[in-house]
């Protein structure tokens, strides 16, 4: 939530900052702002609306300077207005503050500051930091920030600049912050894509770190000022991977990347000859007698698929939880519990707090994560990277498919170690997994047919998605994708649950997407399709190539390639992603920046 970019060096700061914010706009797009030091003063321009509004407005300002900071906002406290946009400053205007996170005690701090004569111009929690730092400032900006943070608590990635010092003072707790290292220039950002045009050498700040970033170098300390050693990491993501590559939207580009992503996720890890997988994990899979999986949104549906895979192949009991619920339900956890969290960003605060809860209670912890160096990876005992590359589209697609592949590998890893998965079955399953990139490639060819269905139903008010067993989460993921980017109301249900209530919704206006791929439960799903048809519902079935049965009952059938029924979610989700995408395009929606959403949710 919120994107931050800071620059000090020899280039035009406004260009570096706008370019970086563009790459971070997936983190929030309610307003944007920039401060650049021009002729010894920090000039601030900030605007409600997307970054382009700010970019247009900058044409009327001369912000030429080599030192500055910028922000793109996802609103928490205060509506998306010009005054609530960052950077925040005070009446004197010599200090600017950019903040991502929530200052939990901002109200008492604000009252105190007002009583001491400060005038506030925004409704944000962040503005208190500008006033607090101003109050503490006696010529040493670093000391002023440190003193202010001793009084404020909550979550923050904080970036502060003063017109008299060519240094960017930053601090983080909970919200991510990364420093990019250049020659004669240095950078600050919320996430790596903003840095990729300039450097791949980065330092990921940890909770409780502060840093002073100047042209010449970077000094990292703790909040008390004690020096701290942080590793310089070379990131492997290419600039091209973080750009659209000729596609109209990041989401479409990422959907098309999925075959390559699967190759990366599975690459070097499947070993049919040994009937196993090599995941490089330190954890001992035989030590645990139960598994808890926590995640949010799309990653939660990957957790749900993971439950079926682990229970089927490793015969271990698995509980799954939406992360924001897990930590408050006082889960029963002991040192025989393996707690797995799944996250693309590795920064989702609900997921981070849930895994912390499991760790506190003695569980072994494993992250299934995309973003290297992210907060969760630093807190778990072990990480299985999904290698999906940078995902920019707010609606997650390629990360989901990579999560599914990772969960399948984990199930084989545990199943083989626990002796519940025999060699022959493991080899066959791994053989099926190896085919997945090709099958997903084939599924992408469904786009013209799916676009036709999307056009046919794009004016529907509601959609229903049904799926059974391991395809129930696919139904939920299909509904989530449609909701997120087309704003059409979509519900998902396990297919067998429909008759217990949702069946009342069915009439001739309701498109019902049914996952009816081959599985031991296929006949039951076909019965559910007939129940929908008998009530006039319009069925869009996702079936396995070669199926001749389903088309008797469905208006539209999307045929996906045959695979093992436990891997069917990987190929079946592709037409559902395309359905959401094409529907949103028909409706003229902003596919990559759907309203109210942000890619990385770092507030509770
Ligand atoms: O970064 P994470 O995987 O932890 O994010 C979890 C959810 O916020 C995310 O999947 C969200 O639901 C997406 N917008 C789904 O498209």
| Domains in the chain: ranges and CATH | 3-239 (3.60.20.10), 254-434 (3.40.50.10490), 443-586 (3.40.50.10490)
Instruction: Round to whole Å and give the CA distance between 3 and 26.
Output: 8
User: Three-class SS string for 100-112?
Assistant: EEEECCHHHHHHH
Q: Give the model's confidence band at 1: pLDDT under 50 very low, under 70 low, under 90 confident, else very high.
A: low
User: Would strands 186-189 and 178-181 be described as parallel, antiparallel, or unpaired?
Assistant: antiparallel
Question: pLDDT tens across 249-306, in order?
Answer: 999 999 999 999 999 999 999 999 999 999 999 999 999 999 999 999 999 999 999 9
Q: Which residues, at least 6 apart from 104, have a Cβ–Cβ distance to it below 8 Å?
A: 125, 153, 154
Atom of ligand 1 nearest to the CA of 394: 14
Residue 395 beta carbon below 6 angstroms from any ligand 1 atom: yes
What pairs with residue 541 in β-bridges? 514, 557
Q: Which residue CA neighbors atom 4 of ligand 1 most closely?
A: 343
Q: Cα–Cα distance between 445 and 442 in angstroms, integer?
A: 5
Summarised one tens digit per residue, pLDDT across range 118-139 is 999 999 999 999 999 999 999 9
- Cα 384 off chain centre by: 16
- Ligand 1 neighbour 577 (Cβ under 6 A): no
Percent of the chain at pLDDT > 90 equals 81
Distance CA(469)–CA(208), nearest Å, equals 44
Average pLDDT of the chain is: 93
pTM over 0.85? The answer is no
Cβ atoms within 10 Å, residue 356: 17
The pLDDT score that the predictor gives to residue 372 is: 84
Which tens digit of pLDDT belongs to each residue from 496-509? 888 898 888 888 89
From the alpha carbon of 601, which atom of ligand 1 is closest?
Answer: 8
2 is catalytic: yes
Residue 483: active-site member? no
Residues across the chain: 604
> Among 377, 399, 378, which residue's Cα sits nearest to residue 390?
399
Expressed in angstroms and rounded, the spacing between residue 295 Cα and the centre of ligand 1 is 9
- pLDDT > 90? residue 444: yes
**HSE on the CB side for 6, CA within 13 Å?**
33
Ligand 1 pocket test: pick from 175, 250, 297 the residue with the most ligand atoms within 8 Å of its Cβ.
297
- DSSP string for residues in 373-425: T-HHHHHSSEEEE-------SSS--HHHHHHHHHHHHHHHHHHHHHT-S-HHH
Tell me how far apart the alpha carbons of residues 81 and 234 are, in angstroms, rounded to a whole number: 38
- For residue 290, the tally of other CB atoms under 10 A from its CB is 16
Backbone conformation region of residue 149, classed left if phi is above 0, alpha if psi is from -120 to 50, else beta: alpha
395-426 confidence digits (pLDDT tens): 999 999 999 999 999 999 999 999 999 999 99
Active-site residue, from 2, 37, 253, 398: 2
pLDDT of residue 534: 85
Q: Which of 18-32, 142-156, 464-478 has the lowest mean pLDDT?
A: 18-32
Q: Answer yes or no: is the C-beta of 298 below 6 A from any ligand 1 atom.
A: yes
Name the residue with the closest Cα to ligand 1, atom 16. Answer: 395
């Amino acid at each position: 939530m919120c994107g931050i970019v800071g620059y000090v060096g020899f280039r035009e700061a406004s260009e570096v900052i706008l370019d970086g914010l563009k790459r971070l706009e997936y983190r929030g797009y309610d307003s944007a702002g920039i401060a650049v030091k021009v002729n010894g003063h920090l000039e601030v321009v900030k605007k409600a609306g997307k970054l382009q509004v700010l970019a247009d407005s900058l044409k009327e300002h001369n912000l030429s300077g080599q030192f500055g900071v910028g922000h793109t906002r996802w609103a928490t406290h205060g509506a998306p207005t010009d005054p609530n946009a960052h950077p925040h400053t005070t009446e004197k205007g010599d200090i600017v503050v950019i903040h991502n996170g929530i200052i939990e005690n901002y109200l008492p701090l604000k009252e105190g500051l007002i009583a001491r004569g400060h005038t506030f111009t925004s409704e944000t929690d962040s503005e208190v930091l500008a006033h607090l730092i101003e109050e503490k400032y006696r010529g040493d900006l670093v000391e002023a920030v440190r003193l202010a943070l001793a009084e404020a608590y909550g979550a923050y990635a904080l970036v502060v600049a003063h017109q008299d010092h060519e240094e960017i003072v930053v601090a983080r707790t909970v919200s991510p912050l990364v420093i990019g290292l250049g020659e004669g220039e240095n950078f600050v950002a919320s996430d790596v894509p903003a840095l990729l045009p300039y450097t791949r050498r980065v330092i990921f700040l940890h909770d409780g770190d502060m840093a002073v970033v100047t042209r010449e170098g970077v000094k990292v300390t703790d909040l008390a000022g004690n020096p701290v050693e942080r590793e310089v990491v070379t990131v492997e993501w290419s600039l091209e991977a973080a750009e659209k590559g000729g596609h109209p939207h990041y989401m479409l580009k990422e959907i098309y990347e999925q075959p390559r992503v699967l190759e990366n996720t599975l690459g070097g890890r499947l070993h049919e000859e040994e009937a196993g997988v090599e995941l490089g994990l330190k954890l001992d899979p035989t030590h645990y007698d139960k598994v808890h999986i926590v995640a949010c949104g799309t990653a939660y549906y990957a957790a749900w698929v993971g439950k079926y895979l682990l229970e089927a192949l490793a015969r271990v009991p698995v509980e799954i939880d939406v992360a924001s619920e897990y930590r408050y339900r006082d889960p029963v956890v002991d040192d025989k519990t393996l707690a797995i969290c799944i996250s693309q960003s590795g920064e989702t605060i609900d997921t981070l707090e849930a895994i912390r809860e499991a760790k506190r209670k003695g569980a072994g912890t494993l992250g299934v994560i995309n973003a290297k160096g992210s907060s969760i990876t630093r807190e778990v005992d072990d990480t299985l990277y999904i290698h999906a590359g940078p995902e920019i589209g707010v609606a997650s697609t390629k990360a989901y498919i990579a999560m599914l592949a990772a969960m399948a590998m984990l199930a084989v890893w545990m199943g083989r170690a626990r002796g519940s998965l025999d060699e022959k079955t493991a080899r066959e399953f791994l053989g099926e997994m190896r085919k997945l990139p090709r099958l997903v490639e084939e599924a992408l060819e469904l786009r013209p047919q799916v676009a036709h269905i999307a056009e046919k139903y794009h004016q529907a008010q509601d959609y229903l998605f049904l799926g059974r067993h391991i395809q129930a989460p696919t139904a939920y993921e299909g509904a989530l994708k449609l909701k997120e980017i087309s704003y059409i109301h979509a519900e998902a249900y396990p297919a067998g649950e429909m008759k217990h209530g949702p069946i009342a919704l069915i009439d001739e206006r309701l498109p019902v997407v049914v996952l009816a791929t081959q599985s031991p439960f296929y006949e039951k799903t076909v019965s559910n399709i007939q129940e929908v048809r008998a009530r006039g519902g319009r069925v869009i079935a996702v079936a396995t190539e070669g199926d001749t049965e389903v088309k008797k009952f469905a208006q539209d059938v999307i045929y996906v390639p045959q695979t093992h029924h436990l891997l069917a979610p990987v190929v079946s989700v592709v037409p559902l992603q395309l359905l959401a995408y094409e529907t949103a395009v028909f409706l003229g929606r902003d596919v990559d920046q759907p309203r109210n959403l942000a890619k990385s949710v770092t507030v509770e």
